[in-house]
A and B are shown apart, each in its own frame.
Chain A
Amino acid sequence: MVSPSVLVLLAWMAVPLAMTLYFSLIRYNLLYPGDNEFVGLENFTFFLTDEGFTAGMTNTLLLVCSVLLISVVVGVLIAVLVDTPFWGRGIVRVLLISPFFIMPTVSALVWKNLLLHPVSGVFAAVWRFFGAEPIDWFSTYPMEAIILIVSWQWVPFAVLLLMTAMQSLDQEQKDAARLDGAGPIAIFWHITLPHLARPIAVVVMIETIFLLSIFAEIFTTTGGGPGYETTNLAYLIYSQALLQFDVGLASAGGLVAVVLANVAAIILIRMIGKNLTDKA
């Protein structure tokens, strides 16, 4: 009974993968129609020896790690802060998580043209107000600017998860600790943080998967440049397929990226998944 659906699913997955595999083994440049000979692993060697490849790898890692670090640290702090009741907490919570619901392209455009623009941006206006020279973010600190934009988008996701988790924290346990003379820092360190360990693990896992393929923010702001400064693997593959029209090379790159993503996933599941089940 299940076999038809399994077959459909298999075809759904296997056909694109098989086509990518096939394309990666032939010479396939859109600008040279009819010249599709079998070239073996040439596309792979070209992709792996491309100057952009090392840059793409380092930038992907840098981007994922920095955004993860920022969203976990800032996320925990914000979640703990808004856990104590105060006037207008509902509105503050909604505002805190709203950046997550903005489309990546839109938020990138807003950051590029309204906030970080060296002539007309809000930041430039503030800089000038204090008599400082405005910073041209996307050419002087391109990677930092991208990390800033992506973090702005993904911190709310962490806040959302951690905020919900905070609500299940046993209030009596905290009261008992307070009676025993524990200060707020000790309570945070020994009660809150261990309680948040599992939601943090979930945040890390889900965000890693999405951050590996960040594209829209880079495309709209820096176009992978200047130089290779903000080219990550996703952007590199895009540039080969659609700016250089080399489908063969891009397919090889796509397969390399699939392997790398799987390696990352296995490591994550080994480390975090185990952590999750152990404590259950």
Chain B
Amino acid sequence: MNIKNTLAGCIATGMLAISTVSSGATTVTVGTVNNGDMIIMQRLSAEFEKQHPDIKLDWVILEENVLRQRLTTDIATNGGQFDVMTIGMYEAPIWGKLGWLETMDNLPEDYDIQDVIPSVRDGLSANGTLYALPFYGESSMTFYNKDLFSKAGISMPEQPTWQQMSEFASKTHDPENGIYGMCLRGKPGWGENMALLSTMVNTYGGRWFDEEWKPEINSPQWKEAIGFYIDLMSNYGPPGVSSNGFNENQALFSSGKCAIWVDATSAAGRLLNPKESQVGDSVGFASAPVAVTPKGSGWLWAWALAIPTSSDAKEAAKEFMLWATSKSYIELVGESDGWASVPPGTRASTYDNPKYVQQAPFAALTTQAMQNADPTDSTLEPVPYTGVQFVAIPEFQSIGTQVGKMISGALSKQMTLDEALDSSQKIAEREMKRYYK
């Protein structure tokens, strides 16, 4: 009898608890990328929920390519599945102009929007209106393993060239012992391999389109840049390059399998963190490599949070975004995960903070790289578009994805370089003929 009563009591209190939670709380669905900084955000969001008992967060964490596809279909069909979307500098202005995103005005005084780095703010705005709040910002840089470099008797200059990269990779490449000279992205996708490859094409003097919007993907500059990349990766890359993206390369580098890795500055903090990286003591940093011109050799990107107009919990969503992109959130990560792990590249105050500068030797290099990357002037010859590692037009998602796929075909020797670039050119021409007016 007693047991029955307690059981009934338990069920009754349980149901009461459920009903109070569901009646009072607004659910905010957050769609985000599975990058390290966002995983920390999800963990720390318990703190936010404690402060806001009336808001419940629901997380959808996906791989970059899949997330883009989910978010784009949701927002374009007015699906209303997400209340907070993690988007980047490519989507924010285009979607904002289409009226798909809530504007980010009337921000509270203590949020201090003037503290946000101007190039990041500009990148997330269209016609002077801000459409998203930056979570972290990044450019690209060179990471190298100092131990392997000193063993090979070489040293990394502050501003290396791609030619030097190949030389360094050849000296450190030691596949017998599971060490590869060079790790670069190979996974197809406009935000995966094409991000890196666009910066390579830029620095080799190439461009996506000429001033009349005619694609130039089979130009000599493209051939040189992509050909160099393919040679480099076939000679000194790890096995399975064509399926390695940002996260895969980070895992390879931090387990000591790569001598050099060129990728996002945002990885720097995690490479130093002894909990996540076995090479924390020996990571070196240098600028992203250049070739013919320094223009466009490092990309500019920010992952940001935005509210789709189809959301039904805009107030709560904004509350969460203000928390996750605030100074105090950066403070919180610094206290709980160490200052080197805070989301970089968004706020000037982060770089004024002595605790950060002291623990993050890459801080100066990051700000410098982000200042050097200019989306309005990223190529040797003039272009009609803005963007360093992407072209800010809606067609680019399709073109970039398909070109990325062709180049991964050439990388794994399923087709020749010329075939891959000629097909890419044809794809881009078709796409532009079909939609560009």
> Which residues of A in the span 233-280 have a Cβ within 8 Å of any Cβ on B?
239, 242-246
If over half of A's interface residues share one DSSP class (helix, strand or loop), that class is named, otherwise mixed; here it is loop
Chain B contacts for A225, CB-based, 8 A: 188, 242, 405, 408-409
Contact of A51 with B397 in the complex, beta carbons under 8 Å: no
Residue B14 interfacial (CB < 8 Å): no
Contact of B73 with A46 in the complex, beta carbons under 8 Å: no
Contact of B409 with A245 in the complex, beta carbons under 8 Å: no
Chain A contacts for B411, CB-based, 8 A: 139, 226
Interface-facing stretch out of A28-36, A160-168, A206-214: A28-36
B406 — nearest CB in chain A belongs to which residue?
A: A227
Within the complex, which residue of A117, A140, A227, A242 is in contact with B415, where a contact is CB–CB below 8 Å? A227
Chain B contacts for A140, CB-based, 8 A: 412-413
Contact of B240 with A142 in the complex, beta carbons under 8 Å: no
Contact of A31 with B394 in the complex, beta carbons under 8 Å: yes
Sort chain A's interface into a size bin: 20 to 34
Residue B355 interfacial (CB < 8 Å): no
Contact of B188 with A245 in the complex, beta carbons under 8 Å: no
Quick one: given A33-B98, A223-B188, A244-B397, are A46 and B240 in contact (CB under 8 Å)? Answer: no
Residue A119 interfacial (CB < 8 Å): yes
Contact of B434 with A30 in the complex, beta carbons under 8 Å: no
Q: Closest CB of chain A to B413's CB: distance in Å?
A: 8
Chain B contacts for A138, CB-based, 8 A: 240, 242-243
> Which residues of B in the span 91-117 have a Cβ within 8 Å of any Cβ on A?
94, 98
Quick one: given A227-B415, A245-B73, A246-B398, are A51 and B239 in contact (CB under 8 Å)? Answer: no
Contact of A242 with B69 in the complex, beta carbons under 8 Å: yes
A239-B399 Cα distance, complex, nearest whole Å: 12
A243-B397 Cα distance, complex, nearest whole Å: 8
Residue B13 interfacial (CB < 8 Å): no
Residue A224 interfacial (CB < 8 Å): yes
Within the complex, which residue of B238, B412, B430 is in contact with A226, where a contact is CB–CB below 8 Å? B412
Chain B contacts for A245, CB-based, 8 A: 72-73, 76, 397-398
Quick one: given A32-B435, A136-B240, are A244 and B408 in contact (CB under 8 Å)? Answer: no
Residue B306 interfacial (CB < 8 Å): no
Q: Closest CB of chain B to A258's CB: distance in Å?
A: 22
Residue A217 interfacial (CB < 8 Å): no
Sort chain B's interface into a size bin: 35 or more
Contact of B76 with A31 in the complex, beta carbons under 8 Å: yes
B72, B401, B414, B430 — which one has the most chain A CB atoms within 10 A of its CB? B414
Within the complex, which residue of A118, A226, A239 is in contact with B414, where a contact is CB–CB below 8 Å? A226
Task: Please encode chain A, from 173 to 210, with 1 for each CB lying within 8 Å of some chain B CB and 0 for all others.
Answer: 00000000000000000000000000000000000000
Contact of A229 with B414 in the complex, beta carbons under 8 Å: yes
Task: Please encode chain B, from 404 to 437, with 1 for each CB lying within 8 Å of some chain A CB and 0 for all others.
Answer: 0110111111110000100100110010001100
Residue B2 interfacial (CB < 8 Å): no
A195-B240 Cα distance, complex, nearest whole Å: 46
Contact of B401 with A117 in the complex, beta carbons under 8 Å: no
Contact of A118 with B239 in the complex, beta carbons under 8 Å: yes
A29-B394 Cα distance, complex, nearest whole Å: 10
Within the complex, which residue of B397, B409, B426 is in contact with A228, where a contact is CB–CB below 8 Å? B409
Quick one: given A119-B240, A138-B240, are A227 and B69 in contact (CB under 8 Å)? Answer: no
A245-B430 Cα distance, complex, nearest whole Å: 15
Q: Closest CB of chain B to A67's CB: distance in Å?
A: 21
Q: Closest CB of chain B to A238's CB: distance in Å?
A: 10
Chain B contacts for A136, CB-based, 8 A: 239-240, 242, 412
Chain B contacts for A244, CB-based, 8 A: 397-398, 401-402
B395 — nearest CB in chain A belongs to which residue?
A: A31
Within the complex, which residue of A51, A139, A229, A239 is in contact with B240, where a contact is CB–CB below 8 Å? A139
A224-B72 Cα distance, complex, nearest whole Å: 21
> Which residues of B in the span 191-216 have a Cβ within 8 Å of any Cβ on A?
none
Residue A134 interfacial (CB < 8 Å): yes
Chain A contacts for B434, CB-based, 8 A: 46
Within the complex, which residue of B65, B76, B412, B426 is in contact with A139, where a contact is CB–CB below 8 Å? B412
Quick one: given A46-B434, A138-B243, are A226 and B76 in contact (CB under 8 Å)? Answer: no
A243-B396 Cα distance, complex, nearest whole Å: 11
Q: Closest CB of chain B to A206's CB: distance in Å?
A: 31
Task: Please encode chain B, from 287 to 318, with 1 for each CB lying within 8 Å of some chain A CB and 0 for all others.
Answer: 00000000000000000000000000000000
A136-B411 Cα distance, complex, nearest whole Å: 12
Within the complex, which residue of B188, B240, B430 is in contact with A118, where a contact is CB–CB below 8 Å? B240
A to B CB contacts below 8 Å, 19 in the list: A29-B394, A51-B427, A119-B238, A119-B240, A139-B411, A139-B414, A142-B412, A223-B188, A224-B405, A226-B408, A226-B411, A226-B412, A227-B414, A239-B401, A243-B397, A244-B397, A245-B72, A245-B73, A246-B398
Task: Given contact pairs A119-B238, A119-B240, A136-B412, enumerate 5 new A-B contacts (beta carbons under 8 Å).
Answer: A30-B72, A139-B242, A139-B413, A224-B405, A226-B242
Give the 5 A-B CB pairs with smallest separation, nearest first: A227-B409, A139-B412, A118-B239, A30-B76, A244-B398
